[in-house]
Structure 1
Amino acid sequence: MFAMFGDLCHLCGHHGAGEADHLVPVAIDADQPIDPYGMRPAHGSSSPCPVCSRKCNQERGTGTIIAPLYTSQDW
C-alpha cells in the first residue's frame, strides 16, 4: 500500500503516515481481505502527524471518510 500511495496521510494531507487505514473499518467488516487498494496511509498512535500532531486513524475510528478540502491557494 505504501509503495502505491506513499506516506501522504489521506485524512490530514501531511507526509509521514506510518499506518494503513482501512477504507471500510475493520470494526464494520472484520472479514475483509488484506487488499492494498482498500487501504490508505494514515497517521496513528505509533506515528502521529509531525505537522499537526493528530492520530488521524484513531480519530476517524469507524466514522466515514470526509475528503480534505484542497484549494489552489493557501489560507
Structure 2
Amino acid sequence: MERGRIERESLSRQLLQTIEQKISLAQELEEWQEDMQVIISQQLKSQHLQEEAGGKARCPPVPQDGSSFFFRFRKS
C-alpha cells in the first residue's frame, strides 16, 4: 500500500513538472512569435520606404536591447 502511494506521489510530481515545462515553453514560443512579427513588420516597413524612395531594400538590424527572442537566449 505504502509503495503504491509513494509511486503515485512521484508520478504526480513528474506530471506537475511536465505541465510547468509545457507552460514555460508555450510562453517562450508566444514571445518568439511576437518578436518575429515585430521584426518582419520592421523589415517590410523599411523595404516599403526604400522602394518608395527608389533605393534597394535592405533588412534592418536585429535589436540588441533585449527585446529579441534570440538576445534572451544569449543572456542565459
- Tell me which interval the TM-score lies in, with the shorter structure as reference length: under 0.3
Higher strand share: 1
Larger helix fraction of residues? 2
When the two structures are superposed, what TM-score results if normalisation uses the length of structure 1?
0.21
Report the structure number with the largest CA radius of gyration.
2
